[in-house]
Amino acid sequence: MTSYKELGLVNTRAMFKKAVKGGYAIPAYNFNNMEQLQAIVQACVNTKSPVILQVSSGARKYANSTLLRYMAQGAVGYAKELGFKIPIVLHLDHGDSFELCKDCIQFGFSSVMIDGSHLPYDENVKLTKKVVTYAHKYDVSVEGELGVLAGIEDEVSAEKSTYTRPEEVIDFVSKTGVDSLAISIGTSHGANKFKPEQCTRNADGVLIPPPLRFDILAEIEKKLPGFPIVLHGSSSVPIQYVKMINQYGGGMKDSVGIPEEQLRKAAKSAVCKINIDSDARIVMTALVRKTLAEKPAEFDPRKYLGPAREELVKLYEHKNINVLGSAGKAASK
Ligand code: G3H
Ligand code: 13P
Ligand code: ZN
């Protein structure tokens, strides 16, 4: 058993308390490789932002769980080396079983999500409670989920979303003891969050999605005042990078994300963790395509992954400063 405390990581408890009180959200960025992790750490140190590093079970399969664990430990040292010690959480994204959560906790994760959102309510409660009981023995925080997001979450995929039912949240939180709750208010995973027929188009033909259900969020906040709420599926799918991908041979169609103003509004509420993965994938793909198209003879991966990493730093800095409001919120030097 390796405790996350030995690795220099923190759990989410103090971080979320400050974020809810301060009206901002902590960035939860997924990573699968070194360049993404370097960019996340650089951007969060540059903007003095706390950060949650997220690892999905797909990422564990892709990159190897031991390597990812040591990379997260390395992130703590790298941040210090860059000159500012920021709080860093290592979080399991969309854990789908007790065994996976247990394994991650033993491996040094400081936070886990148990996603029982696709299960019948009572089974979700039972599974989540089991994970909480185990995790809390090691001071590891747990995120549960109520309501189903449309899109693909690892092996779990849902055609349609089901909004969180505010009447269930008090019962769920008190029965399970979770530290935070992911809810469904209209966000979804991936780069095609809404079908074109669900959207309107502006004068330039750009798809404008329907607004998030802030009424549901407000009802949930009324039931659970000050309780940490999490938003998944919160990429904005920046049109300039989608265009870049398509300009250099890509084929992304009808991509649409969550407008930044809506995420900013959510971050000012009890939403204190905002999950972003797809935007980083899009930026990386756009820059790799552009560089390879412009330099067809290039075959050194550093020459096309380097520019992608630089652009990722800009993306994460922009999110921390202008969308989540987390810039400047990491306390210590
Ligand atoms: O919610 C899903 C995350 O974007 C992780 O995606 O399972 O393809 O690693 P992944
Ligand atoms: P996006 O696909 O919108 O980036 O959402 C990521 C996510 O929710 C990870 O859990
Ligand atoms: Zn998610």
Query: Which of the following is catalytic: 93, 115, 277, 279?
Result: 93
- Decide if 319 contacts 236 (C-beta within 8 A): no
Please indicate whether residue 122 is annotated as part of the active site. no
- Residue 237 Cα to ligand 3 middle (Å): 15
Reply yes or no on whether the pLDDT at 181 is more than 70: yes
- Residue 61 Cα to ligand 1 middle (Å): 12
Name the closest ligand to CA 157: 1
Instruction: Tell me if 272 is assigned to some domain.
Output: yes
* Distance in angstroms (rounded) separating the CA atoms of residues 71 and 55: 11
Nearest to 230 by CA among 8, 15, 59: 15
Chain-centroid distance of CA 13 in Å reads: 17
- Residue 300 Cα to ligand 2 middle (Å): 30
The pTM for the full model equals 0.96
Q: 55 lies in which domain range?
A: 4-324
Task: Find the residues whose C-beta lies inside 6 A of ligand 2.
Answer: 30, 93-94, 189-190, 232-235, 275-279
Residue owning tokens 């009447």: 167
* Distance in angstroms (rounded) separating the CA atoms of residues 85 and 81: 9
pLDDT at 332: 57
* Distance in angstroms (rounded) separating the CA atoms of residues 26 and 323: 10
pLDDT at 154: 42
Instruction: Tell me if 330 is assigned to some domain.
Output: no
Instruction: Tell me if 189 is assigned to some domain.
Output: yes
Instruction: Tell me if 331 is assigned to some domain.
Output: no
Instruction: Tell me if 266 is assigned to some domain.
Output: yes
Taking only the tens place, the pLDDT of each residue in 104-163 is 999 999 999 999 999 999 999 999 999 999 999 999 999 999 999 876 444 444 556 799
- Average pLDDT (240-266) is 97
- Decide if 9 contacts 88 (C-beta within 8 A): yes
Instruction: Tell me if 156 is assigned to some domain.
Output: yes
Structural element, H or E, at residue 151: strand 151-153
DSSP state of 296: T
Task: Find the residues whose C-beta lies inside 6 A of ligand 1.
Answer: 30, 56, 58-59, 93-94, 153-154, 189, 277
| Neighbour tally for 74: CB within 10 Å | 16
Q: Probe ligand 1: pick from 100, 152, 273, 277, max atoms within 8 Å of CB?
A: 277
- Please list all protein residues whose beta carbon sits less than 5 angstroms from ligand 3, which is an ion: 232, 275
Name the closest ligand to CA 152: 1
- Decide if 125 contacts 106 (C-beta within 8 A): no
Instruction: Tell me if 198 is assigned to some domain.
Output: yes
- Residue 92 Cα to ligand 2 middle (Å): 13
Average confidence score pLDDT of the chain? 95
- Residue 188 Cα to ligand 1 middle (Å): 11
The number of folded domains in the chain is 1
Q: Whose CA is nearest to atom 2 of ligand 1?
A: 153
pLDDT at 204: 86
- Decide if 148 contacts 171 (C-beta within 8 A): no
* Distance in angstroms (rounded) separating the CA atoms of residues 330 and 48: 5
- Average pLDDT (70-88) is 96
Instruction: Tell me if 109 is assigned to some domain.
Output: yes
Query: CA angle, corner 251, sides to 307 and 259, nearest 5?
Result: 75
DSSP state of 328: T
* Distance in angstroms (rounded) separating the CA atoms of residues 293 and 291: 5
Indicate which CATH number applies to the domain containing 208: 3.20.20.70
**Which residues are 56's β-sheet partners?**
93
* Closest-lying ligand 1 atom to the alpha carbon of residue 59: 9
- Decide if 193 contacts 151 (C-beta within 8 A): yes
Structural element, H or E, at residue 121: helix 121-137
Taking only the tens place, the pLDDT of each residue in 288-331 is 999 999 999 999 999 999 999 999 999 999 999 999 999 999 98
Over pLDDT 90: what percentage of the chain?
A: 92
Structural element, H or E, at residue 276: strand 271-276
